[in-house]
Structure 1
Amino acid sequence: MMWRLLRLISRLFVGATFIFSGFVKAVDPVGGAIKFHDYFQAFHMDWLISMTMPASFALASLEFIIGILLVFNIFPKTATRASFYFLIFFTILTLGLAIFNPVSDCGCFGDAIKLTNWQTFWKNIIILVFAVYLYFSKSRLASPYSLSIQRVFAVFMLIYILGVSVYSLRHLPLIDFRPYSEGSNIPAGMTIPEDAPQPQYKTTFILEKDGIQKEFNENNYPYEDTTWVFVDSKTELISEGYTPPIHDFVLQHPQKGDITDQLLNLKKPLFLAVSPVISEINPKIAQKLAHLNARAREYDFPFYILTASTLDDAQRLNASYKTDFEFLQGDETNLKTIIRSNPGLVLMQNGTVVAKWHHNDFPAASEIKNPVSAALKQQKTKQTRTLLLGHIFLIALVALIILKSRKTINKNQ
């Protein structure tokens, strides 16, 4: 009985971890692609960069499906093997990442939970303990469902998680875990609390006496022995201390310089069309932005294109599409964090992110008259779509329960 309970706990624990890890990746496929891009560059595999988005979809779906199969006892032997081999591979990989640190954040839980490489490694070790037990007791695992039910459920769940990824790619993430999510106040996110941990450093001094060099630290430095001659020193970061969620938000104007504080303190609505790479804006989207820009100016609402591209590239956009956009420049990595769309539209007021739109969902120019109302409408639409996906998921679970009940009734008859 005890071993049976341990198998149940192991199956649910490993499965729930895989479901969570897969889902938070599925709701942000662009973020997953960015992380794969970092990995491929770090390991000098640039020839795979074109596969970053397919890899993001595949990893999220694989993790989610393995977890779902384990939790609901569908194809338990196959799911157990898959989780075991998956964890073996990624535990070895994260050990290498922890030792050599080519990428600071593994991205194992997307932006939902940030872990260091060593934290990720030990997390994998803990999960692996349960996965190993499941693997060596897999002969005792059996699904209560028929083969046809298991197949239908597995396919349905695969379609579901792929649908979540496709929706999040073509619109915006269903759940936004980043510090620029709707409702976030940027100045508050940039604030460092007074009691926040400070960075800690270790300084080593290299001194020489009688032709012999020796290393000292602050505790054993020979202050009273003046015969030691200073040669060199090196400083090592021991602890990074507190880093605010938002620490690289800068709005640089070509003529006015840094106008970040000025724009964050605006009482009126502020529109930022965020485009990390401005050359990727196509004519159709450029015209939509031009209409929004013109409408915003009618109501004296500031409207900027925020980009990491050069000013020459920005001016080429105006020349190509006969537009008169005003531009700001920012860090490319940060712009990709602000919104998962190139371009994407951000509405801010008094430093708070009121709404964000993917370029597939830009509001009509007529809605600029009352931008906050348009934002609320957009949020309601997003909530409706999220609830729809949730209902689809619940319908699948209810269907599974009904099918299982029918099987039990038929067996008893």
Structure 2
Amino acid sequence: MKTTRTISGHSLPLNVLFVMLNLVGLALTTMGFHDHFEAQKMLFVSLGIVLMLFSAVALIFFKGKLMIATVSRVIVGSLFIVSGLIKANDPVGFSYKLEEYFEDGALAYRIKEWFGAPGFSLEYFIQHALLLSVIICIAEIVLGVLVIIGGKMRLVSWLLVIMMLFFTFLTWHTSTCDAKTKFVDRDTYSLEIAKEAQLADMKIEEAKTNKDVKILSRNSEEVVVEELKSPQCVTDCGCFGDAMKGSIGRSLTPKESLWKDIVLLYLVIWIFAAQKLIQPNNVRQNWIYVPISLILVSGLSWVFNWYFPILFSVVAILAALWVYRIRNRFIGNHYGSALMVTLLCGVFIWYVLHYDPLRDYRPYAVGNYLPDLARDGKPGKYQSLLVYKNLQTGEKREYDSSSKEFMNSKIWEKTKEWKYLEMINKEIVPTKLPSIDTAQFNPSRSVRFLTADELQLDVVKKQLKNRKVTGLRLLDNITKEKTEIPEIEYNVESYPKDTYTVLDTIEVESPDFIDVSIRDFLFKAPEVIVAISKNLKEFDISHLTELKTLAKAAQKAGVPFVLVVGSSDNEIEAFKKKYDFHVPVFINDGVELKAISRANPALLVLRYGRVKGKYTGNSLPEFNWIQTNLLKK
């Protein structure tokens, strides 16, 4: 007779104790490897590993493997749902992070090194980054729901292990990437493609003077170049998108992200080890496991200051259980449950792709006061330390040269025992960059490309008026030509008195004034409407008529309307001419425009520097509505 394994094992109280000890050991081990607990590292790690090993053996002996697997299911499932939803809330942003990993010098360089394959590349996947982003988000949520309700656990446990090994590899790569190292890269440039042929010519010239660049082969069709390059290190794995930075003020460090994945991988291994013991939840188990999962989801939602995951989790889990319970031949199973959750995810992702993230964690979210976010950075604190090495044991010690400990040690005199190595700057308090980098957010336009559209703005007129400086009008006594120069540039070496005569003092344009910026205007203006296009070549023209109507109404009402783009001056003029869209246009870094909105175009409504409204092309409001509901409040 087949015996049914229960969560109690041989002893419910003992197994509960062993599970708690195992989780405490896991927590202590993780804490021991955190920089904050560096002084207690040996104690925490030693105690943590001992507790984990002891409790793991005890759980196996007392048949408690199912219990810890169940606890792991609830924790992993809850975290997967929230993590997946946060990425699904901004799949375009997550795709940008994947693109970073797919760059040739990023993740691919590991493969190039390990397998001696300098021609290996992941750049093909860049064009599919958004699709992969959506697939990963949905997979996380679906697996999270299934692992909570106990559906298809053999398949799910394998998929969980594969996914966590992949994520752990990514975070390991991120935390150990060293931009100072070099790797061998090999590129093939086709001479039949103009852009590649131009790059090939540049590499051929560079190879003549740069020993890191070598031309391996060259014929009428292609040029093969081998080059020593530095890795492109990704500083943020993007595990929780912008959510952690937008909620608690910072993202996880690469090392913290790695340990987060190691912990999850450890829990997933318990699920994998118990996969044959796990059966689909019965009604009684669902009444226990599902509420506990929702409590964990609620806790994570509180951390991220976003409570939609609670609602989504309730709907997704209940929908998955309902599909399973109808016992239909075709969909009344856990495959049907997975399909139902996938459909729910699809609807959610479709919505955010068309109307921007449901919860905006970026600095330019509605309600944010931009000037404060441009100055909320804090300088870090660093300590200069002298590093000495023990010649016998190899031990290294760090000393603050101004400390009593250093002075009392007289270590500099013990040359037979200790050797001075170097001086290092140790980070005591990390530098916090401002939420909005004013070097990145600075909509501006070169003076020589200003048109009548830009010149109609008072802020532009004022800056052009203030660019005047004191100058001199000079007469060339030989050619009789008159020259006007800034007074600061005048000197007798360049303009000898026997050759040049100073006629009078005048006002001239400052040679240092080359750009007009509207950043401060956007931070202070009583009201302004800003259209955003990260790239005019990708501008969704179907929304242009609405924008034109809105711009004309705004100009008629005296409300400034500007377009900020991540394109060149030539592209701007071509766009204006082609679509007869004559509004003031300014240029900003395209990466920052991606942070403002994922849509192209998008719209910001600002009032004294505060974001009063933010819209995508699919949800553009009429000007009268903006004026009544946003600008008069």
TM-score range, shorter chain: 0.7 to 0.9
Residue 328 of structure 1 corresponds to which residue in structure 2?
586
1:91 aligned onto 2:273: no
Q: Residue by residue, what CA displacement relative to the aligned partner does 1:216-265 show, whole Å, maximum 9, x if unpaired?
A: 99839xxx9xxxxxxxx998784641122222432324444233122211
Matched, 1:364 2:622: yes
Which residue is equivalent to 1:16? 78
1:63-78 mapped onto 2 (5 Å cutoff): 63-78=140-155
Correspondence for 2:335 among 134, 139, 151: 151
Native 8 Å contact 1:293 1:325 kept in 2: yes
1:25 to 87, 109, 119: 87
Partner of 1:245 in structure 2? 435
Q: 2:242 and 2:162 mapped to 1: Cα distance?
A: 25
TM-score by length of 2: 0.52
1:282: Cα distance to partner? 4.2
Rate the CA distance shift 1:304–1:92 in 2: closer, same or farther, 3 A: same
Judged with a 3 Å threshold, the aligned counterparts in structure 2 of structure 1 residues 368 and 131 are, in CA distance, closer, same or farther, namely closer
Distance 1:38 1:236 in 2: 29
Supply the distance in 1 between the matched residues of 2:443 and 2:400 (Cα, whole angstroms).
41
Aligned ranges 1:282-301 → 2 under 5 Å: 282-301=540-559
Residue 175 of structure 1: aligned partner: 359
Q: Please report how far the alpha carbon of residue 203 of structure 1 lies from its aligned counterpart in structure 2 after TM superposition.
A: 8.7
Task: Identify the match of residue 529 of structure 2 among 258, 271, 281.
Answer: 271
C-alpha spacing 1:91/1:284, structure 2 compared with 1 (3 Å): closer
Q: Report 1:370-381 matches (<5 A).
A: 370=628, 372=630
Aligned twin of 1:397: none
Match among 323, 331, 346 for residue 162 of structure 1: 346
SS in 2 for 1:273: strand
For residue 373 of structure 2, the aligned residue among 182, 189, 196 is: 189
Q: Tell me, yes or no, if the aligned pair for 2:96 and 2:129 is still in contact at 8 Å.
A: yes
For residue 51 of structure 1, the aligned residue among 128, 152, 155 is 128
Residues 170, 237 of structure 2: 8 Å contact kept: no
**Pair 1:358–1:235, CA change in 2 (3 A):** farther
Is the 1:274–1:335 contact (alpha carbons within 8 Å) kept by the matching residues of 2? yes
Give the alignment's Cα RMSD to 1 decimal.
2.9
- 1:48 corresponds to which letter in structure 2? F
C-alpha separation between the residues in 2 aligned to 1:97 and 1:369?
A: 47
1:115 corresponding residue in structure 2: 252
How far 1:340 sits from its partner (Å)? Answer: 1.3
The alpha carbon displacement at 1:152 in A equals 2.6
| Amino acid in the other structure paired with 1:151 | Y
Displacement of 1:311 in angstroms is 1.7
Q: For 1:284, give the aligned amino acid.
A: S
User: Following the alignment from structure 1 to structure 2, what is the Cα–Cα distance between the partners of residues 298 and 235?
Assistant: 61
Give 1:134-149 correspondences, 5 Å limit. 134-143=271-280, 144=282, 148-149=332-333
Alignment check: 8 A CA contact 2:90 2:357 kept: yes
Q: Is the 8 A contact 2:540 2:600 kept in 1?
A: no
Q: What displacement does 1:293 show?
A: 1.0
Q: Which residue of 2 aligns with 1:127?
A: 264
Asked if 2 retains the 8 angstrom alpha-carbon contact of 1:182 and 1:354, the reply is: yes
Structure 1 gap segments, 5+ residues each: 206-215, 225-232, 377-413
C-alpha separation in 1, matches of 2:159 and 2:272: 9
Identify if the C-alpha distance between structure 1 residues 190 and 204 changes in structure 2 by more than 3 Å, giving closer, same or farther. farther
The 1:202/1:302 distance shift into structure 2, 3 A limit, reads: farther
SS at match of 1:68: helix
**Are positions 1:6 and 2:68 aligned together?**
yes
Contact 1:199 1:241 in 2 (8 A): yes
Deviations 1:363-389 (A, max 9, x none): 134434435189x9xxxxxxxxxxxxx
SS in 1 for 2:276: helix
The offset of 1:333, in angstroms, is 1.0
The one-letter amino acid of 1:70's match is V
Q: Distance in 2 between matches of 1:75 and 1:94?
A: 28
Question: Cα offset for 1:6?
Answer: 2.3
Most deviating of 139-148 and 87-96: 139-148
One-letter identity of the residue aligned with 1:98? S
Shift of 1:298: 0.9
Q: Are the equivalent residues in 2 in contact too, given 1:281–1:343 (CA < 8 A)?
A: yes
| 2:444 partner letter | Q
Q: 362-371 vs 9-18, which deviates more?
A: 362-371
Q: Which residue of 1 aligns with 2:100?
A: 38
2:522 aligns to what SS in structure 1? helix
Return the alpha-carbon distance in structure 2 between the equivalents of residues 202 and 71 of structure 1: 50
Letter in 1 for 2:441: F
> Residue 560 of structure 2 aligns with which residue?
302
> What is the rounded CA distance, in whole Å, between the counterparts of 1:200 and 1:283 in structure 2?
51
Gaps of 5+ in 2: 1-7, 9-14, 16-63, 109-120, 179-232, 245-250, 283-323, 388-397, 407-411, 413-421, 448-462, 464-515
Residues 256-281 of structure 1, C-alpha deviations (whole Å, 9 max, x = no match): 4233122211122x111111111222
How far did residue 51 of structure 1 move? 0.4
Cα distance between partner residues in 1 of 2:170 and 2:343: 29
For residues 166 and 237 of structure 1, do their structure 2 counterparts lie closer, same or farther at Cα, with a shift above 3 Å needed? farther
Give me the whole-angstrom Cα distance separating, in 2, the residues matched to 1:75 and 1:176: 35
Shift of 1:199: 5.1
For residues 166-211 of structure 1, the C-alpha deviation after alignment (integer angstroms, 9 at most, x for no partner) is 1111111111121211111111212237xx4515376999xxxxxx
Cross-structure match for 1:391: none
Distance 1:199 1:259 in 2: 33
1:319 maps to 2:577: yes
Q: CA deviation at 1:141?
A: 0.4
Q: TM-score normalised to the size of structure 1?
A: 0.78
The residue matched to 1:328 in structure 2 has which SS? strand
Q: Is the 8 A contact 1:88 1:128 kept in 2?
A: yes
Q: Partner of 2:550: helix, strand, or coil?
A: helix
Residue in 2 aligned with 1:402?
none
Which letter does structure 2 place at the counterpart of 1:10?
S
Given that 1:342 and 1:359 are in contact with CA atoms closer than 8 Å, whether structure 2 keeps it comes out as yes
Tell me how far 1:13 sits from its aligned partner: 0.6
Could you list the structure 1 runs, at least 4 aligned residues long, displaced by more than 4 angstroms after superposition: 201-205, 233-240
2-structure distance, mates of 1:310, 1:181: 27
Query: Which entry has the higher C-alpha Rg, 1 or 2?
Result: 2
- CA distance in structure 2 between the partners assigned to 1:181 and 1:55 by the alignment: 26
Deviation at 1:22, TM superposition (A): 0.8
Identity of aligned residues (%): 25
